[in-house]
Amino acid sequence: MPASQPRSRARDRNNVLNRAEFLSLNQPLKGNQESRSSSRKQSGQAGAAGAQNANPKERRQSQQLPEEDCMQLNPSFKGIAFNSLLAIDICMSKRLGVCASRASSWGGARSMINLLGITGHGIPWIAGTLICLVKSSTLAGQEVLMNLLLALLLDIMIVAGLQKLAKRKGPYDINPGLLDYLTMDTYAFPAGHASRVAMLSKFFLNHLVLAIPLRILLVLWALCVGFSRVMIGRHHITDVLSGFVFGYLQFRLVELIWMSSNTCQMLISIW
């Protein structure tokens, strides 16, 4: 026994696999594993720190790009319909702006179209109504004229307020005129001329006794004035159509708050 033990020790000493450089083949060293795991953790922490120190805009873009792509590739049906109608409106309005400048196809008729638009402006109508009110001597005439003056003032205030809220520009870069600044008609939506002529034509058809040819001419005048604003490039087609709608609603509002003859006489006496 004592002789066998030294022999086994010598055999183990001479075994190549028992050397330190080959011990990892049989049993990995714990120190090596810990050093490797610590190095991996340090490299992972360094990568995370590098990602944190990266540009925040790039991280935000990397997070938002997939969502933005989905939004662009899969828009809602309402968005598609609205954008399509808006594009058609802009395209058709630009095509119909034949008098937008002197170089346009109908540039020579621009002065006549502007003159037609002045017939639907608020300042001439308010001035004419005041002159007729001063010269009127009948109670019925004064009642109609006072309510007409109220309708004109309401039209200017309502259209100016809606235009300030919408702030929509016209199809062409055309500066408003002096009369437009006086009535605060500086934006495109809704068309102030269209709302005014729609309200006036409906007012006259209801409160004046007119022959059928005159009634037809009154409606044609309102339509021509409204669409003349598209021809000179100041408004889109939808601006004019919405102006007609708002003009009719303003007429209904004036009918609801119609001032009686006594009220009109009281206001005239104060004035």
Coil, helix or strand at residue 248:
helix
Torsion angle, alpha carbons of 25, 26, 27, 29, to 10: -30
pLDDT value, residue 136: 87
Q: Residue ranges of the chain with pLDDT lower than 70?
A: 1-75
pLDDT value, residue 3: 53
> Does residue 207 carry a catalytic annotation?
no
20: left (phi over 0), alpha (psi -120 to 50) or beta: alpha
> Does residue 121 carry a catalytic annotation?
no
Residue 98 amino acid letter = V
Give the tens place of pLDDT for each residue, 77-102: 777 887 888 888 889 888 888 888 88
Catalytic residue (choose from 121, 207, 235, 236)? 235
Torsion angle, alpha carbons of 186, 124, 122, 270, to 10: 130
pLDDT value, residue 9: 60
pLDDT value, residue 13: 59
For residue 32, what are the contacts with CB-CB under 8 A and spacing of at least 6?
24
Structure tokens at 106: 């109908």
Catalytic residue (choose from 121, 193, 207, 236)? 193
Q: In Å, how far from its chain's centre is CA 133?
A: 41
**Domain ranges across the chain:** 107-270
pLDDT value, residue 173: 78
